Amino acid sequence: MSKPTLATWLRRETRLEHHRVDQHPVLKPLLKRELAIEEYATALSALYAPVASLEAALSSGLGAHGVNYPLTQREALLKADILQLGRQVQPVSHLPPLATIEAIVGTLYVLEGSRLGGAMIARHVRQVLEDQVPLRFFAAAPLQTQEWAAFWVFAENLCPPPSWPAVRESAQQAFAHFIQGLEAFVNANPTPKE
């Protein structure tokens, strides 16, 4: 059997983590046929802290390691959507610096990859809610095929196979950070009982 690429290996190795995120009760309604505006606003609000903290950690990590990668910043798009929907943004925790190249690549994989699902979510939300809601976060920065291909060239150049387990660990940590952020949001904003 031919050796997998980092792309196929990492996707396989983190499938379970992605499933935990996309099946989370706060995000799952995004693809429902009866998605309500309030559910959409809740999903965006819950995503804010993990997106903002990981983006901040990545931009300083890239700078500190002198790594030249065109990180797409979406925190401001997300914040604008949340405020337009009449919600407030949640406080953002400061993450420890990303100490290694593997940590940077694994975290980048999770944040950049989330733009792939975002484009699909944007299409669905537009179909259901039409122009009733802002869609900057999901729609304004879709990951283009050539950008994703360039990401993998960049990642494979920096991370030869012996380093892949460390890349996987940081990707799993980034997914776990999203789950923790979603959980923290739910705990801080319990749904009112009927």
Site residues for ligand HEM per CB under 6 A: 11, 18, 21-22, 27, 30-31, 109-110, 113-114, 116-117, 120-121, 175, 178
Query: Could you tell me which residues come within 8 angstroms of residue 152 by beta carbon, excluding any fewer than 6 positions away?
Result: 5, 6, 7
HSE, side-chain direction, 13 A CA sphere, residue 136: 13
CA dihedral 40, 14, 162, 177 (to 10 degrees): 50
**Residue-wise over 130-153: b if at least 16 C-beta within 10 A, else e?**
eeebbbbbbbbbebeeeeeeebee
CA–CA separation, 3 and 6 (whole Å): 9
* Residue 187 CB, nearest approach to ligand HEM (Å): 18
Comparison of 151 and 192: residue with beta carbon closer to ligand HEM: 151
HSE, side-chain direction, 13 A CA sphere, residue 144: 5
* Residue 54 CB, nearest approach to ligand HEM (Å): 8
Task: Tell me the residue nearest to ligand HEM as measured from the CB.
Answer: 113
Comparison of 58 and 192: residue with beta carbon closer to ligand HEM: 58
Comparison of 46 and 101: residue with beta carbon closer to ligand HEM: 46
* Residue 139 CB, nearest approach to ligand HEM (Å): 14
* Residue 113 CB, nearest approach to ligand HEM (Å): 2
* Residue 157 token pair: 């150049």
Comparison of 98 and 110: residue with beta carbon closer to ligand HEM: 110
* Residue 55 CB, nearest approach to ligand HEM (Å): 12
Comparison of 101 and 167: residue with beta carbon closer to ligand HEM: 167
CA 25 remoteness from chain centre: 16
